[in-house]
Chain A
């Protein structure tokens, strides 16, 4: 099956439709919530949460002995939340920095989870196979009820987001100030964090413990490049996330046996790279272009200013001077002289140059502009 075929089948084929819808919704909700994680400088929180969810999955299996995905995800949710609030506790109660706390909890929980997984594998229970799909995810195991669950959580999340938009925004920007206004910052914080945990847990089946944090960060990081408005950023992140989900699923479905989760993450990463390079205001490409252009303008102005100082000494501003004098000016090149001629600031006559009236006035005004634009 090639990609074209995939897109012709996606609406009719039940399995494809379910998986595509699932990854799209997942991408949208993680992108949305990821914006908050990124802006709070808690990028690594997603990684810690997803790893912290692993022992919950194993324990839920050990208790119930069944592989019902909803029950396993409930286990993941509980241990994800425990891990998260443990991290918060460590940060507020000790003097450890947040990266240390995150790393600590991440490895502790993941280690414990792996231990339980290997323990389960040793059990004489035929049912145990396949738990390791939560490590790297397996989108193919998504069924309709999973998608309904994701859609439900996304709708609730959207509702809460719109309801508490103002509170989320001010908390993200300035938490201390928010407190002085009388808002219960702990409540807002717990609300955001709980939804982040929920979104991550929902993604474990599809993308897996190891790569889940990329779903949170990549769309948000890409979206930040394109806008300076929080609302648009959250919206774009949702779009980028959904796009990565759909395209990732399409590629994986058309190239048989390629694992979906990693491809979704790679697509998301490509969106990030593209955004870093090509975004008009923050992108590297246009930044570089602007930088080069500014430099050239500056060189031109400096040369003109140098000529202005020479011309100033004469009563007649268009009095010709030898080009050799310009070699005393460090930034001088023939190229800049040609450009000045082209702009009608300077006229050349053999080895002599002279400022035109226009050039003289421009040079004079350069200084004025600079003295007024400096606050």
Chain B
């Protein structure tokens, strides 16, 4: 835990009057695979969106490797919930993945061979190369999720934020995705995942943040993923048998 990849200070977000996130301080060390867990309405997605500047926080600041997020955007990739876009949009899988390269291209410049190559490589990594010319409306839910993952991979970032990448995908896709995430970690990248399935936390992740409007706890899974923190977060007596 030498380098801090993401540092969040005093982050507060509110819709209307009620705060969705209250005074979040968070340090995410480089190279961890971190789950954000918490009940519905705990602000998990909001936390990611506020860190990425999609939502405007009421207060607080985000730094990436010690510099303001605005200056470090190229280090950060985002995988939104797949339900957030219209999959009937007239475009192909390869085209969507290519969008991952738009950020480094900047304004006006068109993607060229180099960008196409990056996109194809990303498609191959998620096992979707055969579908590159497929119209995106003809992809299954799991395939759509892989395409979103590939788009983030094409960004070639250091830090990845993913909003429920396992939602509504079958077991095969879930295993494929988690393997990619573990590979990212092996390559020294930092991966932050909004996660719902508490059972798989110890198996998939090495770092965890408990969130319920306030930050309950954050740290290594082996130290803090216990009944005490689960109960504090979910408000009911949690008896998950955790294999350590």
Contacts and interface: CB of A to CB of B under 8 A. Distances in A.
B80 A174 contact: yes
A224 interface: yes
Contact of B90 (A179, A182, A230): A230
B96 interface: yes
B226 to A, nearest CB: 34
B91 A229 contact: yes
B105 interface: yes
Interface residues of A, number: 27
Nearest to A187: B107
Interface in A110-161: none
Contacts of A183: 102-103, 107
A292 B155 CA distance: 44
A166 B151 CA distance: 15
A227 B78 CA distance: 29
A266 interface: no
Contact of A174 (B85, B107, B172): B85
| Interface SS majority for chain A | helix
Contact of B78 (A169, A177, A224, A228): A177
Contacts, number: 81
A289 interface: no
A173 B110 contact: no
A365 to B, nearest CB: 22
B14 interface: no
B86 interface: yes
B54 A163 contact: no
Contact of A228 (B96, B108, B135, B151): B135
Contacts of B105: 166
A316 interface: no
B103 A182 contact: yes
A286 interface: no
Given A166-B110, A181-B102, A375-B170, A176 B54 contact: yes
Interface of B: 49, 52-54, 73-74, 76-78, 80, 84-86, 89-92, 96, 99, 102-103, 105, 107-111, 135, 137, 140, 142, 151, 155, 170, 172
16 contacts: A39-B86, A164-B107, A166-B109, A167-B108, A169-B91, A173-B89, A173-B99, A174-B80, A174-B85, A177-B99, A180-B73, A180-B77, A182-B103, A183-B102, A229-B91, A375-B170
